[in-house]
Every structure is written in C-alpha cells, then in structure tokens.
Structure 1
Amino acid sequence: MTSKRISGAELDLKVNPAELSARQRQALLAGLNHAAEETRTYAVELTPKDRGILRASAEVSVDPVELEAAISYNTTYAVYVHERLELRHRIGEAKFLEKAMIAKAGDIEAIVGKYLEKVFQ
C-alpha cells in the first residue's frame, strides 16, 4: 500500500504499486494525470493575473516510476507570488496552488478511484 501527502491533501491508495499489472499501472497514471489537470485548472483560476504569464506557465507532469503527479509553474517569480500573503492582487490570490490542492483533495481521490475501479473489476 502507498500513501502520498501533497500540501495538505493526502491521497491514500489502497494498492501496492509493486503488484500492479501494466494495465492497472496505466489506469493509475491516467487517473493521476486527470486529477492533476483538474486541480491545475482550478489553481489557474486562483492564480494572480497581471499579464497572464504566471497562469499560462502552469503545467502537469506525471512520474511513471514514482507514480506521482505534480503541478508546477514555470516562472522565476511563482514562489514569490504564491508565498507573499501581504501582496494584494486585483485578480487572484496568494497560496493559489495550496488552496487548490486542499479544495480538490476529495475530487483527486474520486477521480483516481474511478480509473482504478475500471481495471480492478
């Protein structure tokens, strides 16, 4: 069994990754990708917008070896904007990715679960 903790959201997978078939592994990766994309979409809505560069830089990556998905922002200032609570934004807010992870925690588990249900039946 494996459990992953991600910025306030925990996904408890009741599977042993070493025992997954190729088909089950592919389903898990597809579910992780789908869940991460849903979370990225919500995080972008919360991301502060000046010219839109930060929002446009959000991307999802899935590691097929570690069976993990990540959402990242590809700008030099993403961490600064995310962490600085005292900054005021006309559009968006600080802690945009963290808030999205917390808000979508239940959805993440449900999405991944649906992908796994299909191959474990």
Structure 2
Amino acid sequence: MADASRSLGTGVNEVIRNLRKAGALLANEVGVNLKKAGLFLQGKSQEIVPVDLGPLKNSAFTRAEGKGFKTDVRVGYTMEYAPYVHEDLEARHKPGKTAKFLENPMRWNRDKILKIIAGVKLKKYRKRFTRTVGFSKGLR
C-alpha cells in the first residue's frame, strides 16, 4: 500500500500539519464549551433541587479537568445527603422542586446541552483554516 504523503507530494505533509493545528484550536473551544454545558446543567438543576434551608442547593458545583477533547466535566452536589434526596421519589417537595434534580434537567435539556458542546463557531476559523490548509472553500 502506497504512502499517501509520498504519492501526493510534499504539500500533503504541510496540509496534515495545519489540520492538526486547526484541530488543536477546535479542541480548545470544545473544552470551554464542555464547561459551559456543565454550568448550564448546574443552573437548570438548581432551579428544581428541593430546598429546606438551602445547604443542598448551595453545595452545587461544576468542575472541569483536562484540556480540549479530553476535558472531563463533573456536575454535582457536595452535601453527603444529596444522593438520598436525588433518589427518593416518595418524598414530598415544594411545588416546582423534585427528586432527580440532576438527572431530569440532563434529559429535558439534552439537545440544548449538545448544542452548547458542539457550539464551535467554524466561521471564526474559516479565514485561518483556508489560508493554512489551502482549501478553496474553507469551513462554512
């Protein structure tokens, strides 16, 4: 099997190198968007988390570790009783407050969360990508 870079000439190596650079730029933005999606979920969760005195709601957190496509985002609550409140479907809560206060907002807002994560603005990279990679139409 022939090596594509040899078959197409030395310009292919430059194109591949520039694609990797463009990928790094996109990866960074995806990492930022993952954190934004986590904060969005946290906000939606806090709207429906049951409140007695407030410590549970106030213990909400969003943490992001890693970079780019390898960003790991965690959304949760630090109060030790949070899992019990989350899973107790028999408990009575004030109107608008409910168990499954993390799971439900994730399900209800799935499309919005995915749009936030995928919200990379490709037009922002069009000029740079077209110039460095050499595609005539670039990204739309």
Q: Which structure has the highest strand share of the two?
A: 1
1:94 shift after superposition: 0.4
Choose the corresponding residue for 1:87, options 52, 76, 91. 91
8 Å Cα contact 1:30/1:115 also seen in 2: no
Aligned to 2:53: 51
Choose the corresponding residue for 1:70, options 74, 84, 88. 74
Tell me the amino acid that sits aligned with residue 114 of structure 1: G
Partners of 2:49 and 2:36 lie apart in 1 by: 20
Matches within 5 A, 1:3-42: 20-21=23-24, 23-42=25-44
Q: Which structure has the highest helix share of the two?
A: 2
TM-score by length of 2: 0.66
8 Å Cα contact 1:28/1:116 also seen in 2: no
TM-score by length of 1: 0.75
Residue identity (%)? 28
Structure of higher CA gyration radius: 2
Q: Which of structures 1 and 2 has the larger relative contact order (alpha carbons within 8 angstroms, sep 6+)?
A: 1
Aligned to 1:101: 106
- Any idea what the Cα deviations from partners look like across 1:13-33, whole Å, max 9, x if unmatched? xxxxxx641x22220111001
Aligned to 1:9: none
Q: Which runs of 5+ in 1 are unaligned?
A: 1-18
Instruction: Tell me the matched-pair count.
Output: 102
- Cα root mean square deviation, aligned: 1.8
